[in-house]
């Protein structure tokens, strides 16, 4: 986890590297640094390899007492201050290889008492220096030094080194070696020596080195040897009896040197011989060594073999004396096209045979395995991968007689079909047919298998019953879904990476009774909500099956807006995952809110206000039409009534018997000052028949100077009175002024008036209203007040 991928300069001009992970491992390699950068003092490892740091100063690594690993490999480093490493008390591994250090200073290591691994390879120093570099390094277990310029090794050079697990010395141009220089190091686990020059020009020096490092317990590796003649092999003469494990790397052998080497190996207790990068310069004429006794050699390994003159080289069948005793025999990438039946019949002890990456064909394989004759009866493992094999039926027929065979590797071959049935040894447990060209599988495959690898073929399905199969590898095919788990009741591991899987589910995994590990990354997953939810639970380890490949390999291929996103980082909303549920819940919530709002509106009489507003607007439009018509005709607005009377039908007797006679008939109470009659608008007699009731009410209110409300309990309960009161309410709101006159026929407080008539309630609070007196003697005063209110200020009675 990079905390910062770039670098910056510190206060003192030194660069800063912040590429440190959560485990405090800082990887600052390949960053172009010319100085040691500043890093956190919590760093446990610091990789500065492949930069351009030429010098390490006294202060560059100050304060890094927790550092356990420092890698300065391949920097061109030429100078290190004597106390540059003094603060690195915890350092366990130091790599200074491939630099330009011409002199090694023992002071560098004075404080590194815990150092276990030290690499000083390929620097241009010619000697290690005096006193010994390694005094005080009692914990040193892995030491690598030397290079093309190393000329001498003195006995005191390795003082302080007592025992090593691994020693690597590059001394191709060594001129001087003091016998016993490596002699005090014991035990010595593995030794790798590059002694190209000494073997060619100074065999005595090479022999002295070998004598000091050869122990029965030591694995010896020799690199870069050119054994051209008898003399170049003589360094082995005195030490060969002590060697049990010998490995040669990048070696060329002439016929003379090979015969001499075989003569030295005759009867010695060498257990393992490994040769990687072998070049044979002769013709394989080693007949003089055909009595060489190699029966103590259990393992022979030869890889990357080059024969310079292969047309003249002797048949391998003539070399049976070299190969008949080994229990483990490997001849890999040697352009081998034939092993004779005669030779394989003599390989009675061979348990492991690897002839991969050669030129074997079905025909030569048939000859090698002696067709129908018995051979290799003790063989357990056979690897013939990477050869030119085409017939799987031929293979199964040939290996059936290998009655102890348990593992067979025929990967990287040209098998493109599979017969419907085959015979196999009943002991076969492991079969690898990966990287072939199979398009289908048939019951040809043995039911005895525990491990089957069919990776990187062209398979689209796999439907076979294999009752004891534990591991199945199907990566790199064209599977659209996981195979059904029923036919594999004991399957524990399934790898199906790099196919065309769209998804898999819990039910798919549950079909496998004992599945424990699954690798299914690098597929074309459709990131549905169900798949993402399921895979998240699997990646977090909550399922019975463990996802063992990297989580980053599970990437969405669709839908398009998620393409390339790691499934572990995708989180879909409920709208995307549960649209039906979301819509249902949303509608339910909306309905509930609608009910609540409707209830609230009803409680606040909002519906009434809306209804009245609509009726008012409709009536208002009719009124405006009438006004426009009058304006067009040039007539003045007509006020036909002094007052519009709004009353309950149950109060009609009072209106008709008291109010109308008093208001519309001339008054005789005062003969000296008679009053003129008033004109009232009553809905019973003055509303125009055939017109909408709302238009009549609106027209009556508009054509009247005043509106008289005869208030009583009956009025409050009357629907028509409510309409008239409603329209008057709106009219008051629009016209303003004191056009409303309230008459209370009976005691009535403003609280008895519905709350929705807020304007009327306000008027009752702020306007004087008339109360109908029950006493006869007070009524003349009531009528006088009412007339005055209807006529206005200019026409009031005295």
If 0-12 CB within 10 Å is exposed, 13-18 middle and 19+ buried, where does residue 84 land? buried
- pLDDT at 464 > cutoff 60: yes
Mean pLDDT of 695-702: 77
- pLDDT at 605 > cutoff 70: no
Q: Report whether 256 contacts 230 (CB < 8 A).
A: yes
Alpha carbon separation from 378 to 351, 352, 374, 401 (Å, rounded): 6, 9, 11, 11
- pLDDT at 57 > cutoff 60: yes
Alpha carbon separation from 580 to 68, 530, 534, 573, 594 (Å, rounded): 58, 15, 20, 13, 20
Please say whether the dihedral angle defined by the alpha carbons of residues 255, 256, 258 and 262, taken in this order, is positive or negative: positive
pLDDT value at position 639? 59
Q: Is 284 strand, coil or helix?
A: coil
Supply the DSSP symbol for 34: S
Q: What's the rounded Cα separation, in Å, for the pair 303 and 638?
A: 122
Structure tokens at 492: 């524990």
Q: Considering only 272-276, 360-364, 632-636, which range has the smallest mean pLDDT?
A: 632-636
- pLDDT at 673 > cutoff 60: no
Strand order from edge to edge, sheet including 641-646: 680-681, 641-646, 704-711, 740-744, 770-771
pLDDT value at position 594? 86
Q: What's the rounded Cα separation, in Å, for the pair 700 and 645?
A: 9
- What's the helix, strand, coil split of the chain in %, to 5? 30, 20, 50
Mean pLDDT of 496-507: 94
pLDDT band at 3 (very low <50, low <70, confident <90, very high): very low
- pLDDT at 48 > cutoff 80: yes
Quick check: do 17-186 and 464-584 share a fold?
Answer: yes
Please provide residue 728's backbone torsions phi and psi, each rounded to the nearest 5 degrees. -65, -35
Structure tokens at 269: 């207790």
Nearest CA-CA partner of 767 in 707, 701, 680, 702: 707
pLDDT value at position 775? 86
- pLDDT at 116 > cutoff 90: yes
pLDDT band at 409 (very low <50, low <70, confident <90, very high): very high
Specify the higher pLDDT residue, 300 or 740. Answer: 300
Q: What's the rounded Cα separation, in Å, for the pair 476 and 244?
A: 42
pLDDT value at position 798? 52
* Residue bearing tokens 């459709």: 526
Largest CA distance in the chain: 172
- pLDDT at 733 > cutoff 70: no
- pLDDT at 31 > cutoff 80: yes
Mean pLDDT of 530-547: 88
pLDDT band at 330 (very low <50, low <70, confident <90, very high): very high
Please provide residue 574's backbone torsions phi and psi, each rounded to the nearest 5 degrees. -65, -25
Nearest CA-CA partner of 360 in 322, 342, 333, 380: 333
pLDDT value at position 763? 65
Which CATH number does 640-667+675-797 carry?
A: 3.40.50.10140
Specify the higher pLDDT residue, 173 or 726. Answer: 173
Q: Is 476 strand, coil or helix?
A: coil
Residues of the chain above pLDDT 70, percent: 87
pLDDT band at 5 (very low <50, low <70, confident <90, very high): very low
Q: What's the rounded Cα separation, in Å, for the pair 588 and 243?
A: 86
Mean pLDDT of 748-752: 71
Mean pLDDT of 274-299: 90
Q: Is 408 strand, coil or helix?
A: strand
Please say whether the dihedral angle defined by the alpha carbons of residues 581, 556, 461 and 504, taken in this order, is positive or negative: negative
Q: Report whether 307 contacts 278 (CB < 8 A).
A: no
Q: Report whether 103 contacts 120 (CB < 8 A).
A: no
Mean pLDDT of 60-78: 95
Q: Name 323's Cβ contacts closer than 8 Å, sequence gap at least 6.
A: 300, 329, 343, 347
Q: What's the rounded Cα separation, in Å, for the pair 444 and 423?
A: 8
Alpha carbon separation from 77 to 14, 68, 70, 100, 137 (Å, rounded): 17, 20, 14, 5, 23
Which CATH number does 464-584 carry?
A: 3.80.10.10
> Inter-axis angle of helices 579-603 and 606-633, to 10 degrees?
70
Nearest CA-CA partner of 257 in 318, 215, 203, 311: 203
pLDDT value at position 719? 58
pLDDT digits (tens, 9 = 90+) for 772-793: 888 888 888 888 888 888 887 5
Q: Is 628 strand, coil or helix?
A: helix
- pLDDT at 125 > cutoff 90: yes
Mean pLDDT of 217-243: 95
List the chain domain ranges. Answer: 17-186, 464-584, 640-667+675-797
- pLDDT at 10 > cutoff 60: no
- pLDDT at 184 > cutoff 80: yes
Which CATH number does 17-186 carry?
A: 3.80.10.10
Mean pLDDT of 180-197: 94
């Amino acid at each position: 986890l990079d905390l910062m991928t770039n670098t910056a300069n510190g206060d003192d001009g030194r660069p800063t590297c912040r590429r440190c992970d959560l485990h405090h491992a800082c990887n600052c390699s390949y960053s172009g640094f010319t100085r040691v950068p500043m890093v956190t003092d919590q760093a446990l490892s610091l990789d500065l390899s492949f930069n351009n740091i030429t010098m390490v100063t006294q202060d560059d690594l100050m304060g890094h007492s927790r550092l356990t690993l420092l890698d300065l490999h391949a920097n061109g480093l030429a100078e290190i201050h004597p106390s540059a490493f003094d603060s690195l008390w915890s350092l366990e591994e130091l790599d200074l290889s491939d630099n330009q250090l011409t002199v090694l200073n023992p002071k560098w290591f004075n404080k590194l008492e815990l150092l276990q691994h030290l690499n000083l390879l390929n620097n241009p120093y010619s000697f290690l220096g005096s006193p010994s570099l390694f005094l005080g390094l009692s914990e040193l277990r892995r030491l690598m030094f030397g290079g093309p310029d190393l000329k001498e090794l003195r006995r005191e050079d390795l003082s302080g080194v007592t025992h090593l697990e691994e020693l690597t010395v590059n001394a191709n141009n060594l001129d001087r070696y003091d016998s016993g220089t490596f002699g005090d190091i014991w035990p010595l686990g593995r030794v790798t020596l590059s002694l190209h020059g000494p073997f060619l020009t100074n065999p005595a020096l090479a022999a002295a080195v070998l004598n000091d490092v050869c122990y029965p317990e030591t694995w010896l590796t020799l690199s870069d040897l050119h054994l051209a003649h008898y003399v170049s092999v003589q360094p082995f003469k005195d030490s060969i009896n002590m060697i049990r494990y010998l490995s040669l790397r990048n070696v060329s052998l002439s016929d003379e040197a090979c015969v001499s080497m075989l003569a030295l190996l005759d009867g010695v207790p060498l257990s393992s011989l490994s040769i990687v990068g072998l070049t044979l310069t002769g013709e394989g004429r080693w007949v003089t060594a055909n009595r060489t006794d190699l029966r103590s050699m259990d393992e022979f390994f030869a890889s990357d073999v080059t024969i310079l003159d292969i047309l003249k080289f002797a048949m391998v069948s003539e070399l049976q004396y070299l190969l008949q005793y080994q229990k483990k025999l490997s001849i890999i990438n040697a352009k081998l096209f034939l092993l004779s039946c005669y030779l394989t019949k003599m390989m009675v002890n061979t348990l492991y045979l690897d002839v991969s990456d050669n030129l074997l064909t079905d025909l030569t394989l048939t000859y090698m395995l002696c067709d129908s004759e018995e051979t290799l009866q003790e063989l357990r493992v056979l690897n013939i991968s990477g050869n030119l094999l085409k017939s799987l039926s031929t293979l199964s027929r040939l290996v059936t007689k290998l009655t102890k065979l348990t593992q067979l590797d025929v990967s990287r071959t040209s098998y493109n079909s599979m017969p419907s049935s085959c015979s196999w040894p009943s002991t076969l447990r492991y079969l690898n047919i990966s990287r072939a060209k199979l398009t289908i599988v048939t019951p040809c495959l043995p039911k005895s298998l525990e491990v089957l690898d069919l990776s990187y073929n062209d398979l689209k399905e796999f439907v076979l019953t294999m009752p004891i199969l534990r591991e199945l590898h199907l990566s790199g095919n064209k599977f659209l879904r996981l195979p059904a788990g029923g036919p594999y009741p004991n399957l524990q591991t399934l790898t199906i990476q790099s196919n065309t899987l769209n998804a898999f589910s819990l039910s798919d995994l549950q079909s496998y009774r004992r599945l424990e590990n699954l690798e299914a990354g690098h597929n074309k997953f459709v990131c549905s909500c169900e798949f993402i939810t399921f895979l998240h639970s699997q990646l977090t380890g909550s399922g019975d099956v463990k996802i063992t490949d990297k989580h980053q390999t599970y990437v969405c291929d669709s839908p398009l807006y998620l393409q390339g996103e790691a499934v572990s980082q995708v989180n879909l909303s409920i709208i995307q995952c549960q649209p039906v549920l979301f819509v249902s819940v949303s509608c339910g919530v909306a309905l509930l809110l609608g009910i609540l709002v409707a209830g609230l509106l009803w409680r606040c009489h909002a519906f009434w206000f809306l209804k009245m507003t609509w009726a008012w607007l409709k009536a208002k439009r009719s009124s405006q039409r009438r006004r426009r018509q009058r304006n067009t005709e040039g007539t003045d607005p007509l006020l036909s009534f002094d007052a519009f009377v709004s009353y309950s039908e149950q109060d009609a007797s009072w209106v008709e018997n008291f109010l109308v006679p008093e208001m519309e008939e001339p008054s005789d109470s005062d003969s000296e000052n008679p009053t003129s009659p008033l004109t009232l608008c009553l809905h019973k007699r003055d509303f125009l028949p055939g017109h909408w009731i709302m238009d009549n009410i609106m027209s009556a209110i508009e054509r009247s100077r005043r509106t008289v409300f005869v208030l009583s309990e009956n009025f409050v309960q009357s629907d028509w009175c409510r309409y008239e009161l409603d329209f008057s309410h709106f009219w008051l709101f629009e016209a303003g002024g004191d056009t409303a006159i309230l008459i209370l026929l009976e005691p009535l407080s403003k609280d008895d008036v519905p709350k929705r008539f807020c304007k009327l309630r306000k008027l009752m609070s702020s306007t004087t209203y008339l109360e109908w007196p029950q006493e006869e003697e007070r009524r003349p005063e009531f009528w006088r007040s009412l007339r005055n209110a209807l006529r206005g200020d200019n026409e009031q009675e005295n």
